[in-house]
Amino acid sequence: MKTIAAQPFDFTFDPAHLALIVIDMQRDFIEPGGFGATLGNDVSLLSAIVPTVGRLIETFRTAGLPIIHTRECHKPDLSDCPPAKRLRGKPSMRIGDPGTMGRILIAGEPGADIVPELAARPGEIVLDKPGKGAFYATPLGEILAEKKITHLVFAGVTTEVCVQTTMREANDRGFECLLAEDATESYFPEFKKAAIDMIRAQGAIVGWTATVDQVAAALR
Protein backbone atom coordinates (compact mmCIF):
# COMPACT_ATOMS: atom_id res chain seq x y z
CA MET A 1 0.00 0.00 0.00
CA LYS A 2 1.08 3.58 -0.67
CA THR A 3 -0.08 6.90 0.75
CA ILE A 4 -0.50 10.35 -0.78
CA ALA A 5 -0.30 13.32 1.60
CA ALA A 6 -3.73 14.64 0.63
CA GLN A 7 -6.57 16.71 2.03
CA PRO A 8 -8.64 16.31 4.14
CA PHE A 9 -6.45 13.36 5.20
CA ASP A 10 -4.04 10.86 3.65
CA PHE A 11 -5.17 8.91 0.58
CA THR A 12 -4.10 5.26 0.82
CA PHE A 13 -4.10 3.01 -2.24
CA ASP A 14 -2.67 -0.09 -3.84
CA PRO A 15 -0.87 0.91 -7.08
CA ALA A 16 -2.11 -2.31 -8.70
CA HIS A 17 -5.64 -0.88 -8.56
CA LEU A 18 -4.95 2.80 -9.40
CA ALA A 19 -5.62 4.65 -12.67
CA LEU A 20 -5.44 8.23 -13.95
CA ILE A 21 -8.38 9.86 -15.73
CA VAL A 22 -7.58 13.03 -17.69
CA ILE A 23 -10.76 14.90 -18.51
CA ASP A 24 -11.32 16.83 -21.75
CA MET A 25 -7.94 18.49 -22.33
CA GLN A 26 -9.19 19.38 -25.80
CA ARG A 27 -8.22 22.07 -28.28
CA ASP A 28 -11.78 23.46 -28.40
CA PHE A 29 -11.62 24.21 -24.68
CA ILE A 30 -7.97 25.21 -24.31
CA GLU A 31 -6.74 26.92 -27.47
CA PRO A 32 -7.53 30.45 -28.72
CA GLY A 33 -10.30 30.42 -31.31
CA GLY A 34 -11.91 27.29 -29.87
CA PHE A 35 -15.37 26.83 -28.43
CA GLY A 36 -14.31 28.00 -24.96
CA ALA A 37 -13.04 31.27 -26.36
CA THR A 38 -16.19 31.85 -28.43
CA LEU A 39 -18.18 31.68 -25.19
CA GLY A 40 -16.16 34.66 -23.94
CA ASN A 41 -13.80 32.73 -21.67
CA ASP A 42 -10.12 33.38 -21.01
CA VAL A 43 -8.64 30.11 -22.28
CA SER A 44 -5.17 31.03 -21.00
CA LEU A 45 -6.36 29.94 -17.56
CA LEU A 46 -6.80 26.42 -18.90
CA SER A 47 -3.75 26.30 -21.15
CA ALA A 48 -1.58 27.23 -18.16
CA ILE A 49 -2.08 23.78 -16.60
CA VAL A 50 -0.98 21.82 -19.68
CA PRO A 51 2.63 21.36 -18.38
CA THR A 52 1.38 20.25 -14.95
CA VAL A 53 -1.07 17.78 -16.45
CA GLY A 54 1.81 16.56 -18.61
CA ARG A 55 3.94 15.92 -15.51
CA LEU A 56 1.13 13.94 -13.93
CA ILE A 57 0.67 11.85 -17.06
CA GLU A 58 4.40 11.15 -17.23
CA THR A 59 4.36 10.09 -13.58
CA PHE A 60 1.74 7.47 -14.36
CA ARG A 61 3.55 6.39 -17.52
CA THR A 62 6.79 5.91 -15.60
CA ALA A 63 4.93 3.89 -12.97
CA GLY A 64 3.32 1.75 -15.68
CA LEU A 65 -0.19 2.57 -14.47
CA PRO A 66 -3.34 2.89 -16.64
CA ILE A 67 -4.20 6.27 -18.15
CA ILE A 68 -7.62 7.11 -19.58
CA HIS A 69 -8.20 10.30 -21.59
CA THR A 70 -11.70 11.64 -22.26
CA ARG A 71 -13.04 13.96 -24.96
CA GLU A 72 -16.43 15.61 -24.85
CA CYS A 73 -17.79 15.41 -28.37
CA HIS A 74 -20.76 14.32 -30.42
CA LYS A 75 -21.66 12.39 -33.52
CA PRO A 76 -21.65 14.41 -36.76
CA ASP A 77 -25.45 14.13 -37.02
CA LEU A 78 -25.80 15.42 -33.39
CA SER A 79 -28.08 12.50 -32.55
CA ASP A 80 -26.38 12.22 -29.15
CA CYS A 81 -26.56 15.96 -28.40
CA PRO A 82 -29.81 16.91 -26.63
CA PRO A 83 -31.39 20.17 -27.81
CA ALA A 84 -31.27 21.41 -24.22
CA LYS A 85 -27.48 21.23 -24.43
CA ARG A 86 -27.00 22.61 -27.92
CA LEU A 87 -29.50 25.48 -27.70
CA ARG A 88 -28.70 26.85 -24.23
CA GLY A 89 -27.83 30.51 -23.85
CA LYS A 90 -26.93 32.89 -26.66
CA PRO A 91 -23.40 31.89 -27.73
CA SER A 92 -21.88 33.19 -30.95
CA MET A 93 -21.39 29.57 -32.04
CA ARG A 94 -23.03 26.30 -31.05
CA ILE A 95 -22.01 22.65 -30.91
CA GLY A 96 -21.82 21.38 -34.48
CA ASP A 97 -21.28 24.81 -36.04
CA PRO A 98 -18.21 25.34 -38.25
CA GLY A 99 -15.38 26.82 -36.16
CA THR A 100 -11.73 27.65 -36.67
CA MET A 101 -10.80 24.02 -35.87
CA GLY A 102 -13.61 22.25 -37.68
CA ARG A 103 -17.13 21.67 -36.45
CA ILE A 104 -17.34 22.45 -32.73
CA LEU A 105 -17.14 19.43 -30.42
CA ILE A 106 -17.75 16.92 -33.19
CA ALA A 107 -15.91 13.61 -33.04
CA GLY A 108 -13.04 13.46 -35.51
CA GLU A 109 -12.73 17.24 -35.93
CA PRO A 110 -9.41 18.88 -34.98
CA GLY A 111 -10.94 20.99 -32.22
CA ALA A 112 -12.36 17.96 -30.43
CA ASP A 113 -8.95 16.35 -30.18
CA ILE A 114 -6.64 16.47 -27.17
CA VAL A 115 -4.00 19.21 -27.26
CA PRO A 116 -0.84 17.84 -28.93
CA GLU A 117 1.30 18.19 -25.79
CA LEU A 118 -0.93 15.71 -23.95
CA ALA A 119 -1.78 13.32 -26.77
CA ALA A 120 -2.43 9.73 -25.77
CA ARG A 121 0.25 7.16 -26.45
CA PRO A 122 -0.31 3.60 -27.69
CA GLY A 123 -1.92 1.54 -24.96
CA GLU A 124 -3.68 4.51 -23.36
CA ILE A 125 -7.45 4.62 -23.63
CA VAL A 126 -9.27 7.55 -25.24
CA LEU A 127 -13.01 7.74 -24.54
CA ASP A 128 -15.41 10.02 -26.39
CA LYS A 129 -18.27 11.07 -24.13
CA PRO A 130 -21.46 12.92 -25.10
CA GLY A 131 -22.14 14.20 -21.58
CA LYS A 132 -20.34 15.96 -18.78
CA GLY A 133 -19.74 12.80 -16.79
CA ALA A 134 -17.38 10.19 -18.25
CA PHE A 135 -19.54 7.23 -17.14
CA TYR A 136 -22.65 8.34 -19.05
CA ALA A 137 -23.04 6.55 -22.42
CA THR A 138 -19.45 5.22 -22.38
CA PRO A 139 -17.81 1.89 -21.48
CA LEU A 140 -15.75 3.49 -18.68
CA GLY A 141 -17.34 1.40 -15.93
CA GLU A 142 -16.64 -1.83 -17.78
CA ILE A 143 -13.06 -0.80 -18.55
CA LEU A 144 -12.32 -0.05 -14.90
CA ALA A 145 -13.90 -3.30 -13.77
CA GLU A 146 -11.87 -5.29 -16.29
CA LYS A 147 -8.66 -3.65 -15.03
CA LYS A 148 -9.71 -4.18 -11.39
CA ILE A 149 -9.39 -0.46 -10.67
CA THR A 150 -10.70 0.76 -7.31
CA HIS A 151 -8.86 4.09 -6.89
CA LEU A 152 -8.80 6.99 -9.36
CA VAL A 153 -6.72 10.15 -9.74
CA PHE A 154 -8.37 12.92 -11.75
CA ALA A 155 -7.04 15.84 -13.79
CA GLY A 156 -8.45 18.04 -16.54
CA VAL A 157 -11.11 20.64 -17.23
CA THR A 158 -13.24 22.15 -16.13
CA THR A 159 -13.03 21.51 -12.41
CA GLU A 160 -16.62 22.29 -11.51
CA VAL A 161 -18.28 20.75 -14.58
CA CYS A 162 -16.89 17.63 -16.28
CA VAL A 163 -14.24 16.83 -13.66
CA GLN A 164 -16.49 17.14 -10.63
CA THR A 165 -19.39 15.42 -12.42
CA THR A 166 -17.21 12.41 -13.23
CA MET A 167 -15.82 12.28 -9.69
CA ARG A 168 -19.35 12.24 -8.29
CA GLU A 169 -20.33 9.49 -10.73
CA ALA A 170 -17.27 7.49 -9.66
CA ASN A 171 -17.98 8.09 -5.97
CA ASP A 172 -21.52 6.76 -6.39
CA ARG A 173 -20.06 3.64 -7.98
CA GLY A 174 -17.75 2.98 -5.04
CA PHE A 175 -14.44 4.29 -6.37
CA GLU A 176 -12.04 6.18 -4.10
CA CYS A 177 -11.22 9.41 -5.93
CA LEU A 178 -8.47 12.02 -5.70
CA LEU A 179 -8.27 15.28 -7.65
CA ALA A 180 -4.86 16.70 -8.60
CA GLU A 181 -5.47 20.31 -7.59
CA ASP A 182 -2.84 21.93 -9.82
CA ALA A 183 -3.72 19.72 -12.81
CA THR A 184 -7.29 20.96 -13.07
CA GLU A 185 -8.73 24.38 -13.89
CA SER A 186 -11.82 26.43 -14.56
CA TYR A 187 -12.57 29.53 -16.60
CA PHE A 188 -13.76 30.91 -13.24
CA PRO A 189 -11.13 30.63 -10.47
CA GLU A 190 -13.78 30.99 -7.78
CA PHE A 191 -15.63 27.99 -9.24
CA LYS A 192 -12.47 25.85 -9.03
CA LYS A 193 -12.00 26.78 -5.39
CA ALA A 194 -15.64 26.05 -4.59
CA ALA A 195 -15.52 22.69 -6.37
CA ILE A 196 -12.38 21.65 -4.50
CA ASP A 197 -13.95 22.71 -1.21
CA MET A 198 -17.08 20.69 -2.00
CA ILE A 199 -15.15 17.59 -3.06
CA ARG A 200 -13.13 17.28 0.14
CA ALA A 201 -15.74 18.63 2.59
CA GLN A 202 -17.22 16.48 5.35
CA GLY A 203 -14.35 14.02 5.44
CA ALA A 204 -13.85 13.64 1.66
CA ILE A 205 -17.54 13.35 0.84
CA VAL A 206 -16.70 13.11 -2.88
CA GLY A 207 -12.94 12.59 -2.69
CA TRP A 208 -9.50 13.79 -1.77
CA THR A 209 -7.28 16.49 -3.26
CA ALA A 210 -3.50 16.75 -3.53
CA THR A 211 -0.86 18.37 -5.72
CA VAL A 212 0.89 16.66 -8.63
CA ASP A 213 4.14 16.68 -6.62
CA GLN A 214 2.40 14.88 -3.75
CA VAL A 215 1.03 12.26 -6.14
CA ALA A 216 4.42 11.84 -7.79
CA ALA A 217 6.16 11.46 -4.43
CA ALA A 218 3.87 8.56 -3.55
CA LEU A 219 4.36 6.82 -6.91
CA ARG A 220 8.14 7.09 -7.06
Q: If we measure between CA atoms, which residue out of 67, 162, 170 comes closest to residue 119?
A: 67
Taking residue 8's Cβ as centre, other Cβ atoms within 10 Å add up to 14
Catalytic site positions: 24, 129, 162
What whole-number distance in Å separates Cα of residue 59 and Cα of residue 180? 12
Residue 59, CB half-sphere, CA atoms under 13 Å: how many?
26
